[in-house]
Amino acid sequence: IVEDIEEALLRNPVFKARTKNIGILKAEDAIRLGVTGPSLRAGGMPYDIRKAVPYENYDKVKFNVPVGENGDSYERSVIRFKEIHESLNIIRQSVEEVKPGAPYRVKLPLTAPAGVGVSRVESARGEYMIHVISMGVMKAERVDDKYVVHFTGQGGRKPYRVRLRSVSLPLLTTVLKHIVKNEEVTIADFPVIVKSLDPCPPDIDR
């Protein structure tokens, strides 16, 4: 079904006309504006933290990092379809490594050592970073299976400080401002650009 949707969308002349050369974000501008993920890679930067700093079992699976050139709304769509195929490839390799009878769930500890910790993880939208200062032993949770957190600190059950550097905030602030400043963007182009950047509204709620 992925191939069917991909072909129907990416070969559609109307879709091409509404997305090509619209909402251009080159790699150098994406880096300057703090963009990560598909929006960065569509502009020509082959950076994926799963390759650069492998975590979990990403160093044990083979996958490519799709990269574009023009960085427009069309290429961001192309990159996302390519990443779907790479994700399926990762899943197939991972399933083959599962041994018969092996536990399929692992019980994680609900507490973590005290101290200060920083962690980064790649999501479908880009790279998340979280910085935690714990006043003592506290519960460590995963939100929507996106954030992997390592804790250290000074004592107490609640964090003293938590800072999450999310993906979506720069996409709807500095990136849109940059695009509008450098292109003749119409009102009709605006939703196309926003959807191609794929921000998550709850992700920017402060």
Q: List the chain domain ranges.
A: 2-99+169-196, 111-165
Q: How far apart are CA 175 and CA 125, in angstroms?
A: 15
Tens digit of each residue's pLDDT (9 = 90 or more) over 70-123: 999 999 999 999 999 999 999 999 988 888 876 777 776 666 567 777 888 888
> What's the one-letter identity of residue 53?
V
Q: Using CA of residue 30, residue 34, residue 39, residue 42, what is the dihedral sign?
A: positive
The more confidently predicted of residues 158 and 27 is: 27
pTM: 0.80
Q: How far apart are CA 80 and CA 143, in angstroms?
A: 22
> What's the one-letter identity of residue 91?
I
Residue 117, both tokens: 């910790």
Buried b (16+ CB within 10 A) or exposed e, 6-34: beeeeeeeebeeebeebbbbbbebbeebb
The more confidently predicted of residues 138 and 187 is: 187
